[in-house]
Amino acid sequence: MDTELILKKDKKIYKLLTIGIFTIEFVYAMAGTVWSVILPYLMIHYNKSVTDIGAATSLYGVGSILSVLMLMYLLDRFKKPKVLSFILVVFFIGILLQGLASGFYVMPIAYFIFGSAGMAMDTVNSAIIVDIYGDKSKTYINILQGMFGLGSIMGPLYAQFIISSGLQWNMTYMFSSAAIAVLFVIYTVLIIINKDSISRLHHTSNPEKTGNELTIKQFIGRKEVLVTIGAVFLIMGAQNSSTGWLVKYMKENLQATAEISTLAVTLYFIGVTSTRFTTPILYKKIEPLKLLIILLGIGSATMFAVYMTDNPYLIPIGTFFGGFGIGTATPVIVSNLCSFFPGQSGRASSFAFLGMGFSGVTFSFFTAWVITSFGLKAGVVMASVLMMLSIPFLIKLLKQNREFHKNLQDDYECDCPNFENEIHEPVI
């Protein structure tokens, strides 16, 4: 088979692989966002306090950190699509355990597994997209996170449907685990029967063979990595605070109906999803990081103002704008950091997601402490404050990004003056 035919075959397989990854991200989001709706029922079922829940969910963050640390060493040494297949098995176990848990003591274990697999899934999915699409990855990672947004919209609605149907809250996890099992089979068959195309994916070579890549220690010493971790840390804290306790707050403090409370969460994710599909259109005119800063400012200010009104009918408006403001944060920040380290997308994306793991541990305890000390309102308002605090980090990252690419363009001005417009093709 000549090179042209191989390239055409690989492109077809990579498209199927992309569709598979998008579908996995959708189901992952659905399974993860039922939490805000079932939380009140879970607390009643197990008779647990806010502090108990905060301590248990902190294991999600611990699992996230450990999985990201492992992926830093593994992702650029093994075929990422095969790693994703293994992660799906672990994710299935984490979801199934939450559905089968006979006592609350099982839930922290399930959260740990869920956090490990979930963070690993996000990291690997993003790294595969970077490997396939290269310079165009910002757009495709936005679509990837857009699929997460669509799943996040469906998650609360799906959970509310299950409960309204008279089924127990844990059935949300039972049905989700079945869907993940089906996805695992289809996806694994795809990569097995197309192993040659998978082996030719760009950036899958062992980094030790090139001699140009950075070590873990060198990564940690880079300022853009540290600033990225700080930005992601605050943004993920904002995302968790935005929806985690919102339904409980609206029901107990504002006497809102279950429908209005679920609508507030749903509109948040509609905002997240809509911005991921629409803002890439503006990237040719406005730098992605600059646009993110603008949207975060508008979203955080709107959310804060609406939350302070204590009006349950206005809160869904605030959550929509908050979601629209923060929605592109993950795809923009991850793809931006990967652009600093060509050939090490796995390690770069791992560092970006490391901030999420630290955020999960920290804000599980911190949010619970804030709610216990100052009430549920303080816990949900904190989301808008954290969004505002992330903006200085993003401004710093924007300056570093401009300086880096200016230097890169100066270095290669003679050989490739239009490098930013090159279309990346997977290596054959």
CB 177 within 8 A of CB 167: no
Residue pLDDT, tens place only, 387-399: 999 999 999 988 8
Q: Residue range 101-117: average pLDDT?
A: 84
Residue 294 has pLDDT above 50, yes or no: yes
* Per-residue pLDDT at 298: 94
pLDDT-derived band at 385 (thresholds 50, 70, 90) equals: very high
- Give the distance between the most distant pair of CA atoms in the chain: 68
Place of tokens 């248990």: 56
188 or 424: which leads in pLDDT = 188
What CATH number labels 3-413? 1.20.1250.20
CB 166 within 8 A of CB 356: no
139 or 171: which leads in pLDDT = 171
CA angle (105, 106, 109) in 5-degree steps: 110
Q: Given CA atoms 345, 350, 351, 353 in this order, what sign does their dihedral have? A: positive
Residue pLDDT, tens place only, 163-178: 888 888 889 989 999 9
* Per-residue pLDDT at 391: 93
**If DSSP codes are grouped into helix, strand and coil, which group holds residue 92?**
helix
Residues 6 or more apart whose Cβ sits within 8 Å of residue 336: 138, 228, 288, 289, 397, 401
182: Cα separation from own chain's centroid: 22
pLDDT-derived band at 132 (thresholds 50, 70, 90) equals: confident
Residue 340 has pLDDT above 90, yes or no: no
110 or 338: which leads in pLDDT = 110
CB atoms within 10 A of CB 175: 16
pLDDT-derived band at 89 (thresholds 50, 70, 90) equals: very high
* Per-residue pLDDT at 208: 42
Q: Is 413 exposed, middle or buried (0-12, 13-18, 19+ CB in 10 A)?
A: exposed
Which helix (DSSP H) or strand (DSSP E) does residue 378 occupy?
helix 376-411
Residue 74 has pLDDT above 50, yes or no: yes
Using alpha carbons only, how large is the chain's radius of gyration in Å?
21
Lowest mean pLDDT segment, chosen from 123-127, 205-209, 218-222:
205-209
**If DSSP codes are grouped into helix, strand and coil, which group holds residue 47?**
coil
* Per-residue pLDDT at 366: 85
Q: Where are the domains of the chain?
A: 3-413
Residue 316 has pLDDT above 60, yes or no: yes
pLDDT-derived band at 299 (thresholds 50, 70, 90) equals: very high
Give the span between the Cα atoms of 187 and 185, in whole angstroms: 6
Q: At how many degrees (to 10) do helices 106-133 and 345-374 cross?
A: 140
- The fraction of the chain above a pLDDT of 70, given in percent, is 88
Which helix (DSSP H) or strand (DSSP E) does residue 1 occupy?
none
* Per-residue pLDDT at 182: 93
Residue 410 has pLDDT above 80, yes or no: no
Residue 321 has pLDDT above 80, yes or no: yes
Give the span between the Cα atoms of 320 and 271, in whole angstroms: 5
- The fraction of the chain above a pLDDT of 90, given in percent, is 16
* Per-residue pLDDT at 204: 39
Residue 42 has pLDDT above 60, yes or no: yes
Give the span between the Cα atoms of 37 and 5, in whole angstroms: 50
Lowest mean pLDDT segment, chosen from 130-144, 262-276, 277-291:
130-144
Taking CA atoms, 362 is separated from 52, 61, 108, 295, 375, in Å, by: 15, 8, 16, 25, 18
pLDDT-derived band at 207 (thresholds 50, 70, 90) equals: very low
Which tokens is 291 given? 């646009």
Residue 354 has pLDDT above 80, yes or no: no
CB 111 within 8 A of CB 62: no
Give the span between the Cα atoms of 78 and 18, in whole angstroms: 18
Residue 44 has pLDDT above 80, yes or no: yes
* Per-residue pLDDT at 133: 79
Residues 6 or more apart whose Cβ sits within 8 Å of residue 272: 149, 152, 323, 324, 326, 327
Residue pLDDT, tens place only, 212-237: 567 777 777 788 888 888 998 999 88
Instruction: Report which residue type is found at 410.
Output: D
Taking CA atoms, 115 is separated from 53, 67, 337, 388, 411, in Å, by: 15, 8, 22, 26, 41
Residue 19 has pLDDT above 70, yes or no: yes
Mean pLDDT for all residues in the chain: 80
Lowest mean pLDDT segment, chosen from 269-283, 291-305, 398-412:
398-412
Residue 210 has pLDDT above 60, yes or no: no
Residue 1 has pLDDT above 70, yes or no: no
pTM for the full model?
0.69
Residue 427 has pLDDT above 50, yes or no: no
**If DSSP codes are grouped into helix, strand and coil, which group holds residue 308?**
coil
Highest mean pLDDT among 1-5, 315-319, 329-333: 315-319
CB atoms within 10 A of CB 283: 16
Conformational region of residue 80, where left means phi above 0, alpha means psi within -120 to 50, and beta covers everything else: alpha
Residue whose C-alpha is closest to residue 116's, from 180, 181, 60: 60
